[in-house]
């Protein structure tokens, strides 16, 4: 073989190597989010197995206003305030995990809300057989709606709805003897456990509530978030009118699949479009509200972040691989630490005598 031929071959090989390297680099950049999604699918598989025990019960906690009373109506459970009534949705039933877990987390004056096939948190359908395993709790990527009716006893009543999402760890307390075993289920709030505080924080940021949504299943766009504050309370204010008429209130919940569904990560080559958009119809900058909550309380969303960390949406967009992994690790932390979750709702009348509490 001639020297010229060898040189030409070497040049061709070098050019081919360069082209191959460029192609690999381009492919690597283009598939970064796809690889993350693949990793997320593996994570979700693990979470699904762990989160079989993550059962949601929807509870309405009676508010302690003057002259309030609790009663059962023909349409289901109702709670009465001085100028309003909150009523359960019709054609409802108890969740499949009502017994014995409700008793284990029951609070004085609390009512446990019933649900319909549509208005639930993956705790409606019971196990039938292996082909019909029923509901097994929520996990990343799930979404749904919870509903209740409000009736004003006056021309107009201004109400504050206070939502809390509380995680529990399950254990058993052996009260029996060698001959008779009587294990009592104990549900301990994560906030009371040394290894549970981080999971409680993350649970607070990974399950989001919204007042509105549009679109179709799997492609919903959410707006008007009910964001958590520093005390992990989510306050929604509504004025209910039309005396003695029923007003249906729907609250949309979602466990975002990835951080990129909340924060624009296009600067890192991620093509996912955040599902929360600003909507003039509701006079709410929804995307800004959600991202503002993330940067205000990063420890609710990102495992390893602290409440005092300074993080911007630009940081997340530019370094999404790192922040996206921190969000995914948060899913894992919830999966490992949380057994059950309770959504609590308290209702108070605004300026209803005294301080309204």
Whole-number pLDDT of residue 101: 75
Higher pLDDT, 299 or 75: 299
Question: What are the tokens at 50?
Answer: 């762990």
Question: What are the tokens at 283?
Answer: 């006079």
Instruction: Identify whether 100 is preceded by a cis peptide bond (ω within 30 of 0).
Output: yes
Distance CA 237, CA 50 (A): 36
The pTM assigned to this predicted structure is 0.78
Angle at 47 between CA 42 and CA 48, to 5 degrees: 100
User: Quick check: 227 pLDDT over 90?
Assistant: yes
CB half-sphere exposure, 346, CA atoms < 13 A: 15
The 10s digit of each residue's pLDDT in 19-67 is: 666 655 555 555 555 656 555 554 444 444 333 333 334 333 322 222 2
Which of 194, 178, 169 shows the shortest CA–CA distance to 105? 169
Whole-number pLDDT of residue 278: 72
Distance CA 22, CA 13 (A): 14
Distances in Å between the Cα of 25 and the Cα atoms of 11, 127, 270 are 21, 48, 16
Distance CA 162, CA 170 (A): 25
Quick one: average pLDDT of 296-325?
95
Q: Which of 64-68, 145-149, 236-240, 282-286 has the highest mean pLDDT?
A: 236-240
pLDDT band at 134 (very low <50, low <70, confident <90, very high): confident
Distances in Å between the Cα of 52 and the Cα atoms of 96, 202, 203, 208, 315 are 13, 18, 16, 20, 35
CB 276 within 8 A of CB 269: no
Whole-number pLDDT of residue 67: 26
pLDDT band at 68 (very low <50, low <70, confident <90, very high): very low
What's phi and psi for 213, nearest 5 deg? -150, 160
Quick one: average pLDDT of 324-333?
92
Question: Count of CB atoms within 10 A of residue 143's CB?
Answer: 20
Place of tokens 């997320």: 40
Distance CA 50, CA 45 (A): 9
User: Quick check: 99 pLDDT over 80?
Assistant: no
Whole-number pLDDT of residue 120: 80
Sequence-ordered list of residues with C-beta below 8 angstroms from that of 242, at least 6 positions apart, any chain:
152
User: Can you name the residues that pair with 161 across neighbouring β-strands?
Assistant: 236, 347
Which of 253, 257, 256 shows the shortest CA–CA distance to 119? 253
pLDDT band at 225 (very low <50, low <70, confident <90, very high): very high
pLDDT band at 12 (very low <50, low <70, confident <90, very high): low
Q: State whether residue 57 is helix, strand or coil.
A: strand
The 10s digit of each residue's pLDDT in 265-275 is: 999 999 999 99
């Amino acid at each position: 073989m001639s020297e010229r031929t060898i040189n030409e071959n070497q040049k061709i090989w070098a050019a081919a190597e360069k082209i191959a390297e460029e192609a690999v680099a381009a492919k690597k950049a283009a598939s970064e989010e796809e690889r993350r999604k693949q990793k997320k699918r593996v994570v979700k598989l693990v979470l699904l197995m762990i989160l079989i025990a993550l059962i949601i019960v929807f509870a309405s906690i009676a508010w302690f206003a003057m002259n309030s009373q609790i009663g059962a109506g023909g349409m289901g459970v109702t709670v009465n305030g001085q100028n309003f009534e909150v009523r359960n949705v019709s054609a409802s039933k108890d969740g499949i995990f009502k017994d014995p877990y409700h008793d284990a987390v029951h609070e004085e004056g609390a009512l446990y809300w019933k649900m319909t096939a549509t208005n639930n948190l993956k705790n409606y359908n019971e196990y039938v057989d292996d082909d019909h395993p029923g509901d097994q709790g929520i996990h990343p990527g799930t979404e749904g709606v919870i509903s209740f009716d409000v009736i004003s006893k006056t021309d107009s009543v201004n109400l504050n709805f206070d939502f809390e999402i509380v995680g529990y760890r399950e254990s058993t307390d052996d009260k029996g003897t060698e001959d008779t075993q009587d294990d009592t289920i104990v549900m301990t709030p994560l906030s009371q456990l040394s290894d549970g505080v981080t999971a409680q924080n993350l649970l607070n940021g990974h399950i989001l509530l919204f007042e509105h949504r549009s679109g179709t299943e799997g492609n919903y766009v959410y707006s008007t978030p009910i964001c958590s504050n520093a005390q992990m309370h989510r306050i929604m204010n509504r004025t209910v009118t039309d005396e003695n008429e029923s007003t249906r209130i729907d609250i949309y919940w979602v466990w975002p699949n990835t951080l990129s569904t909340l924060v624009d990560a296009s600067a890192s080559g991620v093509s996912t479009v955040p599902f929360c958009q600003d909507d003039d119809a509701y006079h709410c900058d929804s995307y800004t509200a959600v991202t503002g909550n993330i940067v205000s309380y990063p420890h609710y969303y990102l495992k390893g972040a602290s409440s005092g960390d300074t993080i911007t949406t630009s940081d997340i967009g530019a370094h999404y691989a790192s922040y996206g992994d921190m969000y995914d690790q948060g899913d894992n932390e919830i999966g490992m630490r949380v057994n059950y979750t309770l959504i609590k709702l308290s209702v108070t009348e605004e300026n209803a005598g005294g301080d309204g509490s």
